[in-house]
Amino acid sequence: MIKYFPVYTLFLMLVFHTSCGQNQTNVPQDNISKGLYSESQLKENRAGNLAVSLAATSKVPISMVRHVKQARNGDILIASYLGVFRYDGKSFTNITSKISSPRFSSFWDVLEDRKGNLWFASQDSGVYYYNGKDFQHFTTKDGLSSNTALHIYEDKADNIWFGASRYDGKYFRNFTTKDGFPSNSIRLLLEDKTGKLWFGAQGDNMFVYDGKTFTVLKNKDGKAFNNVWSIIEDKKGSIWFGDVDGLWRYDGSTFTKVSQRGASAIIEDKKGNIWTTGEVNPNGFGAWKLLRYDQKSLYNEKPAVTEIMSVEKMLCGILEASDGSIWFGSLNGVYRYDGKTITDFKSAAGQK
């Protein structure tokens, strides 16, 4: 296995440039639905063939994990670059192994909707729907705005969003600047408690829609929030998000810069603590950290922050599971933190 490491490392480096990177603006388009691969895809595939072989036989996620979610039955759903996995508390199952070649799927997100159906979003192969028995594949041929889907969101009306595409169960509605949207590169959505829609745009500005008007959001210095990768609403109704300048909070009237540290993913736990993953310096390469901001000092000028983990490789999506454990993705797998110990599931110990 050791002699394959350089090739696999090269493959992971290729993945790195199309993953959590704060400045990504271009991603490859899908040729899968046509049954054709471009020359560049084939060259990249040769470099990643060994990684694909490893991924196909691996019992755990071993590639970049962008998002981690929890199903209603408590299972952990993991969107891995080379497949979407389900963890039932004992073992992992690759849900997508039968629907797409691992290397050309590039899965980024997973969602269980309110009806219990699963949705899988990919970087270059559109989206997949799974009702527990059958799969359905959606691409631009079916009305999807792009075969690149980096984020899935279900709004209060049960519509499923994939970037700029909204699916009502029958049809796709694709939104562009012609509809008044400030950007054509929507990749992130949050519907807050008041019904406002917050949009993050790839390589572009964040904006909000109040039902009538689209507003590009700016800080007190008049600078727009650019390339937002993560956004949540906390229990108090404040909006938290991470952009190229760090971690921000909006309380309904004022934008406050909480930290200069990067926040590629954000969650609020049951106790009200804020957790983030991201680069120490969001504008450049550096260590990636899993951080916890203490709820008792969140609104202080300098909130108390605890560093849980620091690595040179990227850290991505976060989840607080029903048992209180924190799950988070990385460049080459998924971790679980139980409050004392961090389990790396790709390691021999983590697979026991």
Query: How many other CB atoms sit within 10 Å of the CB of residue 311?
Result: 13
Per DSSP (E only), the strands in 57-156 are: 65-70, 76-80, 83-87, 92-94, 107-112, 118-122, 127-130, 135-138, 152-154
- Judge whether 101 lies within some domain: yes
CATH number at residue 206: 2.130.10.10
Contacts of 4-7 spanning 24+ positions with Cβ under 8 A: 4/50, 4/54, 7/47, 7/50, 7/51
The pLDDT confidence band at residue 352, using thresholds 50, 70 and 90, is: low
- Judge whether 349 lies within some domain: no
- Judge whether 325 lies within some domain: yes
Q: For 250-261, how does the pLDDT look when each residue is reduced to its tens digit (9 = 90+)?
A: 999 999 999 999
- Report pLDDT for 127: 94
123/120: higher pLDDT: 120
Question: Is 50 exceeded by the pLDDT of residue 328?
Answer: yes
Per-residue pLDDT averaged across 163-189, rounded? 90
Per-residue pLDDT averaged across 159-172, rounded? 94
- Report pLDDT for 224: 92
- Judge whether 351 lies within some domain: no
- Report pLDDT for 203: 79
- Report pLDDT for 12: 39
26/92: higher pLDDT: 92
The pLDDT > 70 percentage for the chain reads: 79
Beta bridge partners of residue 342, listed in sequence order? 337
- Report pLDDT for 350: 59
Question: Is 60 exceeded by the pLDDT of residue 6?
Answer: no
Per-residue pLDDT averaged across 133-140, rounded? 94
Of 250, 217, 246, whose CA–CA distance to 232 is shortest? 250
- Number of domains composing the chain: 1
Q: Is 177 left (phi over 0), alpha (psi -120 to 50) or beta?
A: alpha
Tell me the whole-structure pTM to 2 decimals.
0.83
The helix (run of H) or strand (run of E) holding residue 10 is: helix 5-16
d(CA 139, CA 151): 15
Question: Is 50 exceeded by the pLDDT of residue 346?
Answer: yes
**Would you call 143 exposed, middle or buried from its count of C-beta atoms within 10 A (0-12, 13-18, 19+)?**
middle
Domain that holds residue 184: 2-344
- Report pLDDT for 208: 94
- Judge whether 110 lies within some domain: yes
Mean pLDDT of the chain: 83
- Report pLDDT for 25: 33
The pLDDT > 90 percentage for the chain reads: 59
Question: Is 60 exceeded by the pLDDT of residue 86?
Answer: yes
- Judge whether 49 lies within some domain: yes
- Judge whether 352 lies within some domain: no
Task: Report residue 344 CA to chain centroid gap.
Answer: 19
- Judge whether 176 lies within some domain: yes
Q: For 263-292, how does the pLDDT look when each residue is reduced to its tens digit (9 = 90+)?
A: 999 999 999 999 999 988 766 667 899 999
